[in-house]
Structure 1
Amino acid sequence: MKTRVIMYLSLLGIGLILSMQAYLVYTNYKQARSYLTHESDAVIDEAFRTELNQRNTFYKHQSGEDTLKTPPPRTKQNSTQYTMSEAKAYKDNLTLLTTLILNRFVSNTVPMNLHKLDSITGAILKAKNIESKYVVRIIDCKTGKVKEHSAQQPALSVFQIPSQIQDIDLDKKISLQLVLINPFAIIFKRMGILLASSVLVALFCFYGLWFLFRSQARQKMLMKVKNDFFGHTAHELKRPVAQLHLALEALSRPGIDENKAKKERYLAISKEATKDMSEKITMIMTLSMAEEGVFKLNYSDFNLVEEVRKLKEQFSAITEKDISIEIENTDADIQIKADKDHLRQCIANLIDNAIKYSGVSVNILIRINRMKDLLRLSVQDNGIGINPEKLSSVFEKYTRLNTASGSPSGFGIGLSYVKTVVEKHAGHIEVQSEPGKGSEFILSLPV
């Protein structure tokens, strides 16, 4: 319940963070767009006045006459009854009116050059560090249609920022307009730090959410694995314990000393059950110590071929199946320095798995080859094989090769134990298998 509440609170927190980031990004976008709109108004106004002044200068040079001059706006000295806002509005209106009159007067002799106006506009935009494609348009005030444009007419799109329409000739009813085409590179550049931080925060939030779900799923999986492991462990240890109990009970009966054959058989059963439990407990403890980093090997010199032959005799005595174990080696006496008990148990696990996951007739081939600095031992069987999708996880802890109903029981730690011991010897293990044709486990150890 607590995990679910924490998950919901985390989702709510992530939602709030992303909402705040989205709001900040949108607000800054609106501000940047408003700024560009205001700048485009100022640019087209300045460009038109500059172009008009150039025409006016050319006109005076050609005719030798003076044209109209813009009258000074009213100030506080000559019009104290006006407020600041009223004075500014009066000044703007008077300036616009004077500009319109001057344009009409000059245009009769020197018409406006749209391409020159476009060039002036580009220079002003560059001076203001506004790097965007643009087009200057002449618009019919009556119909709102574009009569002429300085560049290829852009298609209508939300990725345009138009300036306000500026009247330039009231008689001809025409106006000017500047359109910035796809200026979002500028907007994103101005919002670069905010966008980068927003993306990082969003990625961090999504990673946190993914990590939360992954941790919860992994926790559930580990809980299931733990429960399965305890169940299999109890089942596996129950068998040798039951055998040991029955054997000891039989040995405690009166007159058992008189029947030496029975006594020896029950003693053998007791020893085998005790050995079986000891080996299983050793594997569990080895994996536990390996995880904690305290697993150590006890090195000694021994003949590997001799140990493999002992294992052959031990497993060949199993009567439930028809077992044939063949040893193929290049040298009858291969002395190595390793942990004898653990390495022997590794080979025993591989042979035991080969017998478990084979049919009634079991053929096992053990190859032992010693090269310069490497010992190669492989255990090949004619069993049911391993599905390709399980090959990558076959050495993982608690992974069982076959979980179908009626399949051999086990801890799911045998191959993980083998891999741990082999890697502790600075070696490696690999598997080759094909369903229905058997498997081959190959151990490579430095010598």
Structure 2
Amino acid sequence: MKKNVRFLIVICLLAMLSLLALQAYWIVKYYQVTRFNFEKEVNMAFEDAVKKEFSVRCDTVQQLIENKLMDTTQFIFSSNLDKEGTRIYNILAKGKSKNKMLSSFSFNELPDSIGPGNEQMKRKVAQHFAEQLRSEDLENHVVYYRTHELGAFMIDKANKYQFDTTRLRPILNHYLEARNIEIPYQFLTLKHDSTTNSSHFSQKLTRNFPVISKSFPTYRYTDNQRYVRAMFRNPASYIISNMGLILVSSILLVLLIAACLSFMLKSLFREKKLALIKDDFISNITHEFKTPIATVSVAIEALEEYDVRHDEHKTSRYLDHAKNEIQRLNQLVDKIMNLSLYEGEQTGFHKESIPVDEVMQEIIQIYEVSSDKKPDIHYENKSGVLQFGVDKLKFRHAISNILDNSIKYSKINPAINIDLFKENGHLVFRFQDNGIGIPEKDLSFVFDKFYRVNKGNRHLVKGYGLGLNYVKQILQQHKGWYRIESELGIGTTIMLGWPI
């Protein structure tokens, strides 16, 4: 049995450790995957933000070019039909000697001619030409030579509205918020950098900013801000928030399995304990049954002899022995049967008002007269209660069991003090004896059925482990309570609270 229990415990512990290891492995893997996804998301957001910031700058410069082209003091708009009848639009720059052709193009969406005062058509032509300059020059990060200082104007505005982290930050915040990312970050601008490598950063920097985005060129050549990165603080809060469901489910699963294993082991140990207690009870009860049976058998054998049957004194004595032992057997059977009835709540409950002092004195007198140890029992009622309602028979049984234990487990001259007092609507009976005491480890079990405090492999006093459990059942029927305190070699104090 012990080997099987040890084996089962080892198996349960191994299963629990394996489950914890497996859960830890999957959580770590999920953490790594979530961190990889975080790095991917911030890189995508940063790339979109850099592109958007550049697009905003291009929009600004394009609008400035369009406004400049609409300056009639510098530019002239005209249109004509070519040999195929296609409308051609011309933009000419005014010069000191003569006008210079700046651009000539056709545009199917503008079929009308440009007449004097047609500002709407001029605006559309200017917009088209500004878009053309944007796609050919600005978006390729180069400005080609343009007549009438238009190229110089574009370079001046491109330098004025060049890359700026102040403009980039709100754009990046927008893209991060769209991805539910709220991790603090900083920008890193460098003169020299690689768009493919991020392993050359110092350990101090990577400790403070574990996640660093890819590098993107800024095309800002006026200072050292030619490349830019976004550096993010530890993303643990983001990762854990995304792992919330799996973390909670893993913890709940582990706790559930641990609770099941714990319940199973507790049940196993309880059953093992009950089996030992049951074996001990059977051993004791068998001995208690055998003794009166043997005595009755001897008495009957003696009565079968002819000489004894004619001796009235011997016959009476043997019959008395047999009668006493049969009564003892009957009491033992009644005690076991009564306990079973109490547990099944099948016994009747006849509450009546009893004179507490009178009943207590009757019980005390019985034990003072019948006990071989001649106990000194002192009784005092401090409660002022003279009558209270209980089931009289069960009350007597409960008090008798406590007194019986106090005497059985006492020294040569047992001294028992019984006092009554009121506490929280209960009449409390306190029994204090000078017996052998109960070890602290056994105190919480002495009211369990069949439980007996042992000394090594033997019990010092014969019994069945039923008395205190019997008291417990009676108090539960009365909705009362019980408490016990004990110290080895000093004695035991038991309190029974009966509702009044």
Q: Same fold (TM over 0.5)?
A: yes
CA distance in 2, matches of 1:321, 1:244: 27
CA distance in 2, matches of 1:20, 1:287: 50
Corresponding residue for residue 360 of structure 1:
412
Corresponding residue for residue 232 of structure 1:
284
* Deviates most, 412-421 or 310-319: 310-319
Corresponding residue for residue 282 of structure 1:
334
The match for 1:69 among 134, 138, 141 is: 134
Q: Establish whether residue 348 from structure 1 lines up as the match of residue 375 from structure 2.
A: no
CA distance in 1, matches of 2:266, 2:423: 45
Q: How much has 1:216 moved relative to structure 2?
A: 2.3
- Conserved in 1, the CA contact under 8 Å of 2:481 and 2:498? yes
* Deviates most, 301-310 or 193-202: 301-310
CA distance in 2, matches of 1:371, 1:35: 67
Count of aligned positions: 418
Pairwise mapping of residues 409-420 of structure 1 onto structure 2 (< 5 A)? 409-420=462-473
Q: What per-residue deviation string (whole Å, max 9, x for no partner) do you get for residues 236-271 of structure 1?
A: 3333434444455555553366454x6565555444
Q: Look up the equivalent residue of 2:35 and give its one-letter code.
A: R
Q: How much has 1:356 moved relative to structure 2?
A: 1.6
- Conserved in 2, the CA contact under 8 Å of 1:316 and 1:323? yes
CA distance in 1, matches of 2:301, 2:353: 40
Structural RMSD (CA): 4.7
Q: Look up the equivalent residue of 1:214 and give its one-letter code.
A: K
Q: Establish whether residue 42 from structure 1 lines up as the match of residue 44 from structure 2.
A: yes
Corresponding residue for residue 131 of structure 1:
182
Corresponding residue for residue 89 of structure 2:
none
Q: Establish whether residue 292 from structure 1 lines up as the match of residue 347 from structure 2.
A: no
Q: In structure 2, do the counterparts of structure 1 residues 115 and 295 end up closer, same or farther at CA, with 3 Å as the change threshold? A: farther
Q: How much has 1:357 moved relative to structure 2?
A: 1.5
* Deviates most, 274-283 or 304-313: 304-313
Q: Look up the equivalent residue of 2:53 and give its one-letter code.
A: E
CA distance in 2, matches of 1:372, 1:131: 59
CA distance in 2, matches of 1:401, 1:7: 27
* Deviates most, 389-398 or 250-259: 250-259
Q: Look up the equivalent residue of 1:167 and give its one-letter code.
A: P
Pairwise mapping of residues 42-441 of structure 1 onto structure 2 (< 5 A)? 42-56=44-58, 61=64, 69-70=134-135, 98=140, 109=160, 112-139=163-190, 140-141=192-193, 155-157=205-207, 160-169=210-219, 174-250=226-302, 254-255=307-308, 258=311, 260=313, 266-297=318-349, 305=357, 307-317=359-369, 320-329=372-381, 338-367=390-419, 375-404=427-456, 405=458, 407-441=460-494
Q: In structure 2, do the counterparts of structure 1 residues 346 and 245 end up closer, same or farther at CA, with 3 Å as the change threshold? A: farther
- Conserved in 1, the CA contact under 8 Å of 2:453 and 2:459? no
Structure number with bigger Rg:
2
- Conserved in 1, the CA contact under 8 Å of 2:61 and 2:158? no
Q: Look up the equivalent residue of 1:122 and give its one-letter code.
A: N
Report SS of the residue matched to 1:137.
strand
Q: How much has 1:328 moved relative to structure 2?
A: 3.8
Corresponding residue for residue 89 of structure 1:
none
Q: How much has 1:415 moved relative to structure 2?
A: 0.8
Q: How much has 1:350 moved relative to structure 2?
A: 1.4
Q: Which stretches in structure 1 are left out of the alignment for 5+ residues? A: 73-93, 148-152
Q: How much has 1:58 moved relative to structure 2?
A: 5.9
Q: In structure 2, do the counterparts of structure 1 residues 359 and 301 end up closer, same or farther at CA, with 3 Å as the change threshold? A: same
- Conserved in 2, the CA contact under 8 Å of 1:41 and 1:164? yes
Q: Look up the equivalent residue of 1:178 and give its one-letter code.
A: A
- Conserved in 1, the CA contact under 8 Å of 2:163 and 2:218? no
Q: Which stretches in structure 2 are left out of the alignment for 5+ residues? A: 70-129, 145-153
Q: TM-score, normalised by structure 1?
A: 0.73
CA distance in 2, matches of 1:335, 1:251: 51
What's the % identity of the aligned pairs? 28
Q: How much has 1:25 moved relative to structure 2?
A: 5.0
